[in-house]
Chain A
Amino acid sequence: MRLTCPLCGPRDRREFTYYGAGDYLSRPDPGAPAEAWDNYLHLRDNPAGPTRDLWYHDQGCAAWLLVSRNTITHEITGVELVADRKGGRDEA
């Protein structure tokens, strides 16, 4: 398995570390109801089809990546930098 890092190009899976579902990018507001936090921390979908995961390119550019893949075909349909997403980068 290979992931195509937007910075480094296609790399072997061993260069990356899996973190978890892409849901971790949607953090509730601090004052959000307990249900929202419960959902964020514990509840995950288990889709048959397209899903998104977070990976870390630890043996490469050290960037966080959002990987889109299909759980039925195992096809990887996209890899993007978390930093390029709105709110994904700390502002100075």
Chain B
Amino acid sequence: MAELIAKTALDGQRPATGAGLVLATLPPGPVWSIAPFPGVDLAPVLAPLGLAFPTPGQSSSAGDLRLIWTGRDQAFLLGGAAPPGLEAFAAVTDQTGAWAGFSLSGEGGEAALARLVTPDLRLAAFPVGHVIRTALNHIPAIILREGRAGFHIRVFRSMARSAWHELAAVLERLAARQAAEQARPVPTAPVG
């Protein structure tokens, strides 16, 4: 067997910046899909890890582990391997190589995402720890609000370059708009 080298999508991609925002690739990490079998409650298996199976749009964290909702009766475990024995209660698959992750950090990330995503991702409607499955322009994406000024965006690995292009273009356009607004002459007060 040939020796294979694990490479993340967009390996070596340097961060893109604009309008006070930084778009960067996420460091590689495990992604496990966990889909409980019909009628099975995973609470007794997940509780020792400090995790709970998330309700739609939510996530649960404990240390480096994070369980994010990704669909009906499905969640992704990030940051570590699935606990042994879980496969007796749920369909467990390693999807590490199937996803590409980006971080978008800085104030106003929701305004940047609003150019590509239809649901409201402002803090009031999409608080920290919430997760949403939606389309990033036409690209299926899982978006997690990591912090007040930070989002994690995951897309199918095959669409990583397109997603990066869309997001980087948004930063460029927001920066251009800011520059144009700063260059506009300041209106003078009417006389009298």
A residues adjacent to B (C-beta < 8 A): 7-9, 11-12, 14-15, 58-63, 81, 83, 89-92
User: Is B140 interfacial (CB 8 A cutoff)?
Assistant: yes
Provide the bound-state CA to CA distance between A15 and B119, in Å: 10
> Which residues of chain B are near A90, meaning CB under 8 Å?
38
A91 contacts B135, C-beta separation under 8 Å: no
For residue B71, which residues in chain A have a CB less than 8 angstroms away from its CB? 7, 61-63
**Most-contacted residue by chain A among B39, B72, B135 (CB, 10 A):** B72
A74 to B4 alpha-carbon distance, docked (Å): 56
CB contacts under 8 Å to A, within B109-138, are 118-119, 132-135
Residues of chain A lying within 8 A (CB to CB) of residue B39: 92
Q: How far apart are B108's CB and chain A's nearest CB, in angstroms? A: 22
CB closest residue in chain B, given A84: B72
On chain B, the residues within 8 Å of A12 by CB distance are: 118-119
Known: A15-B118, A61-B133. A92 touches B72 (CB 8 A): no
Return the 7 tightest CB-CB contacts between A and B, nearest first: A59-B135, A12-B118, A7-B56, A61-B71, A63-B72, A92-B37, A92-B38
Q: Which residues of B contact A7 (CB under 8 A)?
A: 56-57, 71-72
B57 close to A8 (CB less than 8 A): yes
Complex interface: chain B residues within 8 A of A11 (CB): 118-119, 134
Interface residues in B74-96 by Cβ distance below 8 A to A read none
Q: Is the CB of B57 within 8 A of A9?
A: yes
Among B38, B72, B135, which residue has its beta carbon within 8 angstroms of that of A81? Answer: B72
The distance in angstroms between the C-alpha atoms of A71 and B112, with both chains bound, is 38
**Which residue of B has the minimal Cβ distance to A5?**
B56
Which residues of the partner chain A approach B56 to less than 8 Å between Cβ atoms? 7-8, 61
List which B49-81 residues lie within 8 A (CB) of chain A: 56-57, 71-72
Q: How far is B133's CA from A60's CA once the two chains are assembled, in angstroms? A: 5
Shortest CB–CB separation between residue A52 and chain B, in angstroms? 20
Q: How far is the CA of A91 from the CA of B37 in the complex (A)?
A: 9
